[in-house]
Amino acid sequence: MELNRLAALKPNFAARKVGDELVLVPVKGSVADMDEMFTLNDVGSLVWDRLEAGVTTSSLVAAIVSEFDVKEETARADLHGFLEQLSGLLNG
Amino acid sequence: MADCTLRIADFLIRLENRSGLPLALEGGYVPFIADSVDGPDIHVLCNADIPDYLRPDAVALYTANQDGHLLWDISEWKGGLRFRVFMPEAPFTLQQVALTDSGFQLWEVYSEAITEGGEQGICPLAYPLGPLLLYSLTVQNEAIMIHASGVFDGNRGRIFSGFSGVGKSTMAGIWKHQGARVINDDRLIIRNGADGYVIHNTPMFYADEPKQAPLHAVFLPFHSPQNTMARLKGSEAVSRLMAYCIQHGYEKTFIEHHLHFLSDMCGQLPVHHLGVVPNDEVIDFIREHESRG
């Protein structure tokens, strides 16, 4: 998983925290794309907030373990799945 | 007509005619002519004829098509923006070119002369430039334009939002039949101010007086075999309403503006998914559910 590449794609989205969730909207030219929105839960929001150049998988796992009181193995598996989804979303 | 000021959704738009030809407004704009000339929100300088140097293609920030043809595009122009608008009924024929600063405060509009009743004139706000100008006002203020019908029953203001075919006009008609005032049955501007959220109509292709009403509740209707109502949580409400807003997604700050406005609004006003059987009973159904909180 290329975290730096994902971080570089972040500016292509507008983001807004609504309650515990984060609404992401792609910045594209077409009004029709306004129907392509994504909502991240609290774990996803945490990863999104920390996704920046230089971030490592280990630091993200540590942040999830610290914030949500889950085992490291669980956090690592969840993070892997989430980043796969996010990669598809950002590259879409 | 020489110069004039329009008051639309409490925005003041000053039209200054520099053309030497009469200013012609589409019929829907005439009821919005205001007496006030104080402190307009934007100035529109109205010129006749489109200079050749404003016509060429450029890298477009945004394009809008209609029936497979380019209707309008936006490109960067000397630190501001250039809008090229083509005639809806005559593809590839320029109707207007508008230059504006990045803050949309000053517009310089060049219009091809039109002939109506044997007399020449210019129509600087001819569709779709008028709505584009209104859109620019909303993104500079606490306001949005949205595909929605809006009604006021003397007590509460409600909007019904969604894409074509979900029943926006049908709902407006049902409420009208029960004595409510229809603000508009297709497109609204919502503003947030000292009096809370207020819905306004905008000039349409037909003439209607300026109307406004306080907004208390938002509904997303859909056809259903029975009336149903379910409140949406914040993120879902924001996501759904984002899709129904009129917006041009080329500019990130505009999208952020809409997200900010809608997240605040959805935090203060209830947003409901509304299954609708299209008859008068849906009104009692809504009121009954609202009274239960």
Are A23 and B259 inside 8 Å of each other by CB?
yes
Return the pLDDT at B137: 95
Check CB contact of A31 with chain B, cutoff 8 Å: yes
Which chain B residues have a beta carbon less than 8 Å from that of A27? 249-252, 255
Chain-wide mean pLDDT for chain B? 94
Q: Which residues pair with B98 in a beta bridge?
A: B83, B109
Check CB contact of A72 with chain B, cutoff 8 Å: no
Give residue-wise pLDDT tens across range B101-152.
988 999 999 999 999 888 899 999 999 999 999 999 999 999 999 999 999 9
Which chain B residues have a beta carbon less than 8 Å from that of A48? none
Check CB contact of A32 with chain B, cutoff 8 Å: no
Give residue-wise pLDDT tens across range A3-17.
888 888 888 889 999
Nearest-CB residue to A23 (from B62, B64, B239): B239
Are B249 and A39 inside 8 Å of each other by CB?
no
Chain A residue at shortest CA distance from B234:
A18
Give residue-wise pLDDT tens across range B37-71.
678 999 999 999 999 999 999 999 989 988 889 99
> Mutating which of A12, A34, A35 best tests the B interface, going by the most B Cβ atoms within 10 A?
A34
CATH number of B143-291: 3.90.228.20
Domains of chain A are: 3-91 (3.90.930)
Whether the pTM exceeds 0.90: the reply is yes
Chain A residue at shortest CA distance from B250:
A29
Are A23 and B250 inside 8 Å of each other by CB?
no
* C-alpha torsion B166→B137→B12→B155, nearest 10: 40
C-alpha separations of A47 from A52, A68, A87, B202, B263 in Å: 10, 12, 13, 42, 21
Integer Cα distance of B108 and B3 in angstroms: 14
Return the pLDDT at A92: 62
Query: What is the percentage of chain B residues whose pLDDT exceeds 90?
Result: 84
Which chain B residues have a beta carbon less than 8 Å from that of A14? 252, 255-256, 259
Integer Cα distance of B70 and B82 in angstroms: 15
Phi then psi for residue B245, to 5 deg, are -75, 150
pLDDT band at A87 (very low <50, low <70, confident <90, very high): confident
Give residue-wise pLDDT tens across range B199-216.
999 999 999 999 999 999
Which chain A residues have a beta carbon less than 8 Å from that of B62? 29
pLDDT band at B283 (very low <50, low <70, confident <90, very high): very high
The number of C-alpha atoms within 13 Å of B16 and in the hemisphere containing its C-beta is 10
- CATH 3.90.228.20 boundaries in chain B: 143-291
Question: What ipTM goes with this model?
Answer: 0.80
Mean pLDDT (whole number) for B172-186: 97
Give residue-wise pLDDT tens across range B210-241.
999 999 999 999 999 999 999 998 999 999 99
